[in-house]
Amino acid sequence: MKILSALPLLLILSSASAQVIIMPFAEAAKQGMTYKKLDSLYRGTRPFHSGTQEEYVKEENALLRRKTQIARKIFGIRTAPAAIMYHLYTNKTGRFDYLLYEIRGQISPESEKALVDSLRHLLNAYRFGVKITSAHVSSHFMNLGLIRSIPKGDSIISSLEAAQSTTRPDTVKVLALNQLELTQVPDVMYRFPNLKELNLSGNELKIAHIAVNRLPKLRQIWLNNNQLTDSSLHLTQNKTLQILNIQGNRFTDIPQAVKNCRRLKSLWMGYNNLTALNQKSFRKLRRLQDINLYSCGLKTLPKDIVKLRRLEVLDVYYNDLSTIPPSVSRMRRLQQLALSHNQLTLLPDNLGKLRHLQALYLHHNRLNRLPGSIGKLTSLQILDIGYNQFSTLPAQIGSLHRMEEMDMSYNNLSEVPPPLPYLRQLKKLYLRENPVAQDAQLREHSKAIVQILEAKNIQVSY
């Protein structure tokens, strides 16, 4: 077993021949290897590889596909969903040191052992095609087996056979042809004049031509988790489509096909490597209300994104953003801003102009202060600043009178912030893994504030 407590990183990572250690988070924590501790040791520098980001993402996706194949072989098609969430720690030689995991859902001990043994064999033998130059940690979530989600109802068809044989195509509103290993878009969809939702997710599509104008009532298209590229998606010009999910493909920019959907409200493009995203990418998308750019390798937000004045939800989880442009304050209709798992060290001073903001997610960044203008976010109900470097919070947070839930876990707070009793709607407060939560003497200094909070039936979690 590798000893972490006192050894410098150089010693921890020195053994190039060591075998990967795989264990559940809970077991690792009992041995003093919390993932917070490991994350700090393996944070490393950026970039942590030679070659381009595109080359590394290609290699990482190849490894993920190998792991997914292993999971499907072991678990097959499941009726009850199960997944594994894990952190993978890679040393500067490119070898894997640790995989800490948590299983979500029910699986047998035998299946878990088979999965762990298979992953150990894969990781011990695997070598990246690009050179790793620094230790790093990556986080992943993977389904165990194949769960085919099929909606139920009289107006739903979920197989090609049924789509071809139905004698009442006018009654069909949802065509769910997901996870059928399709390699081309089936023309049978044009049989259904009242179709509202087309689901082709989780197939093997490399090209998708959809004449949306032939389906006048179509409102939603799901093409996520295929193999589409910028030039292989084709949607005819239309004013009907409202929701488009193209996550988990091979896009590097927002394809022209998306801009043909003049009244699109929701665009989900997460898990694409959007290296070509630029100032012109969001043109003709002014009606968007919800955009998801989850885990897209973004280092900056294009300035033009602020022209999406109708945007209500902006989700950029798991990117490499170090700053947020002050112009984001122009997006006055924003209700949810999700900036977690980035590299942010500072927030714009004019953040308070987002008066309609209801949820602000900032956890897992490098922040140590909030702007004073945060007190002007009078609609804010959820604030999550966990896993940052806060030692104090501004007095202005006492003005957040609609606040219902605050998470300040894993910071450097030595006291419970004095303004909290002024939050009239507060229901839940999380202070886990702060000095004030771990040190009895510090807790005593904040005892009066905690008593006030608890007297108001506020749930305080240490």
d(CA 226, CA 213) in angstroms, rounded, equals 23
- Which residues make Cβ contacts (< 8 Å) with residue 17, sequence separation at least 6? none
Query: Has residue 414 been placed in a domain?
Result: yes
- Tell me the pTM: 0.71
For residues 106 and 169, state if they share a domain.
no
Q: How many domains does the chain have?
A: 3
pLDDT of residue 15: 43
Among the ranges given (70-74, 218-222, 393-397), the one the predictor scored with the smallest mean pLDDT: 70-74
Q: Do residues 284 and 307 make contact, with C-beta atoms less than 8 angstroms apart?
A: no
Q: Do residues 281 and 257 make contact, with C-beta atoms less than 8 angstroms apart?
A: no
Q: What is the mean pLDDT of residues 329-342?
A: 94
Q: How confident is the model at residue 79 (pLDDT cuts 50, 70, 90)?
A: low
pLDDT of residue 70: 87
Here the CATH number for the domain that contains residue 357 is 3.80.10.10
For residues 163 and 106, state if they share a domain.
no
CA angle, corner 211, sides to 208 and 216, nearest 5? 135
Q: What is the mean pLDDT of residues 217-228?
A: 95
Q: How confident is the model at residue 285 (pLDDT cuts 50, 70, 90)?
A: very high
Q: Which parts of 71-126 are beta strand (E)? A: 83-90, 96-104
What is the total residue count of the chain? 462
Strands 220-222 and 243-245: parallel
* pLDDT at residue 194 tops 80: yes
Six token digits for residue 196: 């509202």
Q: What is the pLDDT of residues 89-137, one digit of tens each?
A: 999 889 999 999 999 988 999 999 999 999 999 999 998 888 998 899 8
Q: What is the mean pLDDT of residues 376-401?
A: 95
Range(s) of the domain holding residue 178: 150-275+284-289
Query: Has residue 313 been placed in a domain?
Result: no
Which residues, in sequence order, are bridge partners of residue 359? Answer: 336, 382
Q: Between 66 and 292, where is the model more confident?
A: 292
For residues 94 and 212, state if they share a domain.
no
Q: How confident is the model at residue 44 (pLDDT cuts 50, 70, 90)?
A: low
pLDDT of residue 302: 87
d(CA 168, CA 132) in angstroms, rounded, equals 58
Q: Which of 92, 114, 143 is where one domain is finished?
A: 143
Query: Has residue 393 been placed in a domain?
Result: yes
* pLDDT at residue 7 tops 60: no
Q: Do residues 119 and 95 make contact, with C-beta atoms less than 8 angstroms apart?
A: no
d(CA 156, CA 199) in angstroms, rounded, equals 11
For residues 328 and 461, state if they share a domain.
yes
Query: Has residue 312 been placed in a domain?
Result: no
* pLDDT at residue 9 tops 80: no
For residues 161 and 129, state if they share a domain.
no
Of 196, 200, 198, 209, the closest CA to residue 170 belongs to 196
The alpha carbon of 162 is separated from its chain's Cα centroid by a whole number of angstroms, namely 35
Q: Which of 90, 110, 143 is where one domain is finished?
A: 143
pLDDT of residue 234: 98
Q: What is the pLDDT of residues 136-181, one digit of tens each?
A: 988 888 888 766 677 777 899 999 999 999 999 999 999 999 988 8
Measured from the Cβ of residue 204, the count of other Cβ atoms closer than 10 Å reads 12
Q: Do residues 363 and 407 make contact, with C-beta atoms less than 8 angstroms apart?
A: yes
For residues 69 and 117, state if they share a domain.
yes
Q: What is the pLDDT of residues 339-376, one digit of tens each?
A: 999 999 999 999 999 999 999 999 999 999 999 999 99
